[in-house]
Structure 1
Amino acid sequence: MRRGIHLLEEVDFRPMNSRRPLEYLTWLTRYKQEDAARAAPELTEGMSIRSREIDLVGAFYAVGITGHQQFKAVTLWDCHGGWEGGWRQMMEIYSGVDSRLFLSDIDDLRFSAFSRPLGAVHGSPALSSARPSPLFVFESASVRPGAALDYLEAVRAERLPILRDHGHTLVGLYEVLFCDTEVVTVWGTTLDAHLATQRARDAALGLDDEAAPDERLLTWGKRARDYLSGTWRETLLAPFPGSRLSPTPARSS
């Protein structure tokens, strides 16, 4: 089995205009639904590479109050066939720097976009098997140089059972490629499970005497510091209707 190769992109919209993320996510999910029927990849004007092997698995509106820049979209892509599949198709469009690369139907809609190429590690579920959830937890962490795989293995062995007990489902454990200092994990959950987890941690800290404490949440936080070298952050993502990870169907136009 080939390694899973994926792409996670964060898109900002400025000046702050709440309609722009809606326009972008609506545009993106509609055209990727059309791509599911494509027989072969094609470089097109206005939409760049169109391919069923470059699969939009998740399109999300970032929940700004959990630590994201306000008005942000996040997308999660699966390169079917790994390096020699969807990844090759994305790279081939740069051959000759075709002028169609510089045309987009969404010019001036996005302010900036930042992409992370991701490689799945041992114990990471196949992204094709990910199930819809009402909420997703997106973790990005800076680790000591060379510690990415060790950290992700610790997450699989030690943190996964804790979060599973708190109603979280593992979507993916990912090494950020072309660097050795960053990892990404993604989890599916519900609002009730998210709130209960936070209260269990508060109770373990002695800050909530009405909830059952789970000391394992604090133990993991200390354990993670064996690998971390900088920023660690979890934020929440709300799946956009019509994306594969959303339990809500696409809105009618």
Structure 2
Amino acid sequence: MRKKGRQVVLDTETTGLNPKEGHRIIEIGCVELVNRRLTDKQFHMYINPERRVDEGAMEVHGITNEFLQDKPLFKDVVDDFLDFIRGAELVIHNAPFDVGFMDHEFTLLDPAAELTADMCSVFDSLVYARKKHPGQRNSLDALCKRYGIDNTHRDLHGALLDAEILSDVYLLMTGGQISLLDDGDLTDGAAEQVIQRLSSDRPALKVIECSAEELIEHQKMLELLEKSSGDCLWKN
């Protein structure tokens, strides 16, 4: 049974740009979000595409034909992959590209196979970014710069690394994490049942003042929140 509020941030690398030309998936990377919190669950797999990788694609992701020779075929990993994504909302940057390749792989195995839309909903972060930032560059690198996300370790594209980066971009772009008071499972009115009142004769709480450096970092975070959501109550 899938968890409520489960999302899978997903990226793929491929042998080329168009599955209609016989191009295949060579890497899948997924990270899990539950109630807008990153968990420790991931799915990551390199795949032998049974064809050669285009030179142009290799320049983007750096994955060579020699590296892929001993990797499993898609049919060998598809069950584990489907088990990981089924029932989740997929968060994908430029979703038609990745979904098109996924559906191509599914139908190669079985022309009557379920397609991605049959088992998942899809949130296209590129479409969302274009609506939120019209007229601006909305590549993953551009969004990292806009939201202050460090991606200096991203010299080449990699499916798992890009999925991890996209999860940070997605959370900031769509308003950050859920409320600090929301544990993700409370129903209306349930919050009152978990509030614990402190005794009036309790010892005084120790106050620890922030350092000047901590205050500067706090201000930077408030400015980032205001930039991503348009308003920041803590600054008011």
Interval of TM-score (by shorter of Structure 1 and Structure 2): under 0.3
Higher RCO, 1 vs 2 (CA within 8 Å, ≥6 residues apart) = 1
TM-score computed with the length of structure 2 as normaliser: 0.28
Asked which structure has the greater CA Rg, the reply is 2
